Amino acid sequence: MAIVVVAILLTLPAAAAQDHAPYQVGDQRSGYTYLSPELQAEQNDDLGNQGMLWVERGETIWRTPAGPAGKSCASCHGDAAASMKGVRARYPAWNDALGRPIDLEQRINLCRTDRMGAPAFAWESEDLIGITAYVGRQSLGLPVGLPRDPRLEPYRKAGEAFYNQRRGQWQLACSDCHVDAAGRHLRGDLLSQGQTNGFPIYRLLWGGMGSVQRMFRWCNEGVRAGPYDYGSNEYIALEIYLAERGRGLPVETPAVRR
C-alpha cells in the first residue's frame, strides 16, 4: 500500500534533459542540476552561499592550536590550498591503523586525537562541519574518484545492497526515490539522484549545514526506519558506494540544496 501511495504522489514527469556540464557525467547528475536558477546562483556566489560561513569557521580552526601538543592543522599540513587539494575527492579511504575505511570527518578527528592530543569534535557539531567544509572546499571542482583499492570493494558491495534494500514502514529503498523516481516530484520535493559530491551541504530545510550521514539519517527517518549511528559501518559503506556511483562529478563543497 505504501508503495502505491508513493507512486501516486510522483505526479510529474522526469525533468527534460539539459546541458549541465560539468555537473553531469554520463547519466549521473549532481543535485545542482535539479536546483532552481536562483539556488544555483546562490551556490555559485561565495558571498551569497551561506555554507561559506562554515568554511570560514573551518579556516579559523585550521589555524588555531589545540591540545597539549600546541599544534594546529596548519602546523603539520601548512597551506590547506596545497596540502588538502584533492583530499575530499578521494574519501572515504582505507585506514591501515584501524583496518577499515573511514570518511573525511573521521580522518579529521583522528588527526585531532592522535596528532594534536585534542578531543575529537562531536558528530554534526559546528566545528566538525566547519573544518570538514573547509578541507572539502580545497577540492572544489575536482572530480570525485575514490582510489581503486580492493580493500574497499566489500564495503562498496555492502553499500550497494543497503541502497537497494527496502526498509521502514514505507518499505522504500534509496533507489526507489533516487534512481526510479529521480526527476519527479514527491509532494513539493523534486527528487534528485541523491549524489553526494556536494557535502557538507547548506540545506534550506535544515537552516544550516549538515554532513552526508545526517542526510542518510534524515532519509531513514523519512521512510520510518530507525537510523544507524553516525560513523556506523553501514553508513561508511553507503558513502563508499555513493562516491563510486558519482565518480567524476565535481566536488561542490559547500553545495546548496533545498
Query: DSSP labels for 207-246?
Result: TEEE-HHHHHHHHHHHTT-PPPPTT-HHHHHHHHHHHHHT
Per-residue pLDDT at 149 exceeds 70:
yes
CATH superfamily of the domain spanning 23-258: Cytochrome c-like domain (1.10.760.10)
Per-residue pLDDT at 13 exceeds 70:
no
Q: For the chain, what is the mean pLDDT?
A: 92
- Which of 20-24, 147-151, 239-243 shows the lowest per-residue confidence on average (mean pLDDT)? 20-24
pTM (2 decimals)?
0.91
Size (the chain), residues: 258
Per-residue pLDDT at 33 exceeds 80:
yes
Q: Is 128 helix (H, G, I), strand (E, B) or coil?
A: helix
How far is 155 from 237, CA to CA, in rounded Å?
5
pLDDT above 90 as % of the chain:
89
Compare 190 and 156 and report the one with higher pLDDT.
Answer: 156
> Across residues 116-132, what is the average pLDDT?
97
How far is 93 from 95, CA to CA, in rounded Å?
6
Instruction: Give the pLDDT of residue 69.
Output: 85
Report residue 246 CA to chain centroid gap: 11
- Give the Cα-Cα-Cα angle 39, 42, 46 (nearest 5 degrees): 155
CB atoms within 10 A of CB 99: 8
Instruction: Give the pLDDT of residue 187.
Output: 73
Q: Is 76 a catalytic residue?
A: no
- Out of 73, 174, 177, 219, which one is annotated catalytic? 219
Instruction: Give the pLDDT of residue 12.
Output: 39
Q: Is 249 helix (H, G, I), strand (E, B) or coil?
A: coil
How far is 93 from 107, CA to CA, in rounded Å?
9
Instruction: Give the pLDDT of residue 18.
Output: 53
Q: How confident is residue 19, by pLDDT bands cut at 50, 70 and 90?
A: low
Instruction: Give the pLDDT of residue 203.
Output: 97
Report residue 192 CA to chain centroid gap: 14
- Which of 119-133, 159-173, 183-197 shows the lowest per-residue confidence on average (mean pLDDT)? 183-197
Model pLDDT for residues 188-235, shown as the tens digit of each residue: 788 999 999 999 999 999 999 999 999 999 999 999 999 999 999 999
Compare 178 and 69 and report the one with higher pLDDT.
Answer: 178
